[in-house]
Amino acid sequence: MKYQPSESILKYLLDMRNALAWSTAVALAYARTCGGIPNPIQLRGKVKPWFDSRYDYARHHVNPVCRSAVALLKSYRKNHKRLGLPQVRKLAMRIDSELFRVTKNEDGMVTVRVTLKPFNYEYMTFAPCHKKWDEYSKAGKTCELLLTDRKLCFTFILEADACKPLGKRLVASDINFQSIDSTAFSDGKLESVSCESLKRIVGIQNDFSRRRRSLQLHVRNPAKRARKLRETRGRQRNRVRDTLQKLSTKIVSANPSTTFVFENLKGIRKEEKPRSVGRVLTMCLNRWPYRMFQNMIEYKSRCRTMYVSPRGTSSQCPVCGGKLDHPAWAVSRCEICGVDYDRDRLSSLEILRRGLRLCGRPFAVSASASWQSMKDEYLYAPGAPRLGEQAEPRLPTHRIEKCTKLHISRNGFVVRANGHRWCR
Ligand SMILES: [Zn+2]
């Protein structure tokens, strides 16, 4: 919220900036002599006598000063890889919840009362123009106020259950490297199956990994190479994030009042993998931004998001409970049902089944009439090219030692050297 600071607020902010600079210096001296950045409580023991003798503000104000000083020092160490004295420039101070009170006036304005000195209050009035203000101030309680010379930033603690209800519909999604397969469920029956391609993201990632490879090969100066690599990583992250933002906004606005069900994939990257898992799959796993996507859906959706266990989602048949076989990567064969299912779609059905069980509405797939009409959607169709099924083309990269023969393809990129190696 924007506001107009009064004289005494500005003086308070200036004093706090000085106090913060001083406490940071104290914390740095402590870290250099005692071998480690102190925690805020230890620092408060050192700073408090000085603070009390110098300022007549309420004694609680020393706590956020010490917390900020420790945080500043830690982030300086993280950014510079060494200890040093960070400069304090901004006029900003955190105020603990016991030192301010928010009241709503009759005319719709909101007043904040901040205790600067004991029994000496400062009042700030503003119009709550943030679109989430009503939702948050009703559901949550304020826990901290960040006071700057221009803005007031409130932090709320929300109880997750109070804030987000369970949706009427359910959409279960199986997130793969190249596509997101979803099954929608409403009114006790299966509604539809859909597939969103992630080709764009894979394209961006391939593009940037190629750029990085050529930087590693051709830029000799190590400092320049490191800088260039860092830049490409940042740009790649931004572009992937942007694509995911657009995709998640599209999905959430297409599914109002819907609870999304995902697999809880925490730890899949660290999990013990069999030796057969190749370099390419490991690379795909490491750059797969599933968690970013799930987070975006979670905060954009107005309903609660659920996570189910990912164990065995593509090895148990959701229709009959039998064991699934995978004659090919995209195929799930069930001996009991006697058919070949599409692996990704079937696992989204299994995720949906688990999500419904979690809601306390168990759903028997094979007994439902909607399953009989939807069944064909889940079958594996080898003829039809599906989105996101082709493996990315793997081009071996070799340094060209001696070119005997050059062959430039139609897109002008592929070079053939020594008669047998393909080089990019
Ligand atoms: Zn089956």
- 318: helix, strand or coil: coil
Cα(90)–Cα(354) distance, integer angstroms:
50
On whether both 238 and 276 belong to a single domain, the answer is yes
On whether both 215 and 80 belong to a single domain, the answer is no
Q: What is the 316 CA–ligand 1 centroid distance (Å)? A: 8
Give the pLDDT means over successive 10-residue stretches in the chain (424 positions): 89 93 93 88 91 90 92 91 90 89 86 89 86 79 87 80 76 88 89 88 91 91 92 91 93 91 78 61 74 90 88 85 84 86 89 88 83 85 51 44 52 49 46
On whether both 155 and 171 belong to a single domain, the answer is no
Cα(134)–Cα(179) distance, integer angstroms:
37
Give the pair of three-digit tokens for residue 330.
């995209």
Q: What is the 323 CA–ligand 1 centroid distance (Å)? A: 7
Give the pair of three-digit tokens for residue 73.
């020092």
Q: Does 183 fall in a domain?
A: yes
Question: Among positive and negative, which fits the CA dihedral 227, 229, 231, 233?
Answer: negative
Give the pair of three-digit tokens for residue 145.
């106020």
Q: What is the 337 CA–ligand 1 centroid distance (Å)? A: 4
Q: What is the 322 CA–ligand 1 centroid distance (Å)? A: 5
Q: What is the 320 CA–ligand 1 centroid distance (Å)? A: 4
Query: Which residue type is seen at 182?
Result: S
Cα(267)–Cα(163) distance, integer angstroms:
28
On whether both 199 and 279 belong to a single domain, the answer is yes
On whether both 152 and 236 belong to a single domain, the answer is no
Quick one: which of 38, 102, 87, 99 has its CA closest to 66?
Answer: 38
On whether both 268 and 173 belong to a single domain, the answer is yes
Q: What is the 364 CA–ligand 1 centroid distance (Å)? A: 12
On whether both 198 and 338 belong to a single domain, the answer is yes
Q: What is the 193 CA–ligand 1 centroid distance (Å)? A: 18
Pairing of strands 339-342, 415-417: unpaired
The pLDDT of residue 388 is 42
The pLDDT of residue 171 is 93
Question: Among positive and negative, which fits the CA dihedral 314, 318, 323, 324?
Answer: negative
On whether both 90 and 105 belong to a single domain, the answer is no
Pairing of strands 169-175, 258-263: parallel
Q: Does 1 fall in a domain?
A: no
Q: What is the 168 CA–ligand 1 centroid distance (Å)? A: 28
On whether both 66 and 110 belong to a single domain, the answer is no
Q: Does 401 fall in a domain?
A: yes
Domain that includes residue 26, residue range: 7-95
Q: Does 154 fall in a domain?
A: yes
The pLDDT of residue 231 is 92
Q: What is the 317 CA–ligand 1 centroid distance (Å)? A: 5
The pLDDT of residue 395 is 44
On whether both 249 and 340 belong to a single domain, the answer is yes
Which H/E stretch holds residue 48? helix 40-54
Q: What is the 203 CA–ligand 1 centroid distance (Å)? A: 35
Q: Does 261 fall in a domain?
A: yes
Q: What secondary structure does DSSP assign to 348-414, as a single string?
A: HHHHHHHHHHHHT----TTT-HHHHHHHHHHB--SSSPPTT-SPPPP------S--S-----TTS--
Q: What is the 298 CA–ligand 1 centroid distance (Å)? A: 32
Q: What is the 365 CA–ligand 1 centroid distance (Å)? A: 10
Q: What is the 125 CA–ligand 1 centroid distance (Å)? A: 64
Q: Does 83 fall in a domain?
A: yes
Q: What is the 166 CA–ligand 1 centroid distance (Å)? A: 30
On whether both 134 and 57 belong to a single domain, the answer is no
Q: Is 117 exposed, middle or buried (0-12, 13-18, 19+ CB in 10 A)?
A: middle
Q: What is the 324 CA–ligand 1 centroid distance (Å)? A: 7
Q: What is the 319 CA–ligand 1 centroid distance (Å)? A: 5
Out of 95, 121, 145, a domain closes at: 95
On whether both 91 and 101 belong to a single domain, the answer is no
Longest CA–CA span in the chain (Å) reads: 88
Q: Is 354 exposed, middle or buried (0-12, 13-18, 19+ CB in 10 A)?
A: buried
Q: How many domains does the chain have?
A: 4
Q: Is 167 exposed, middle or buried (0-12, 13-18, 19+ CB in 10 A)?
A: buried
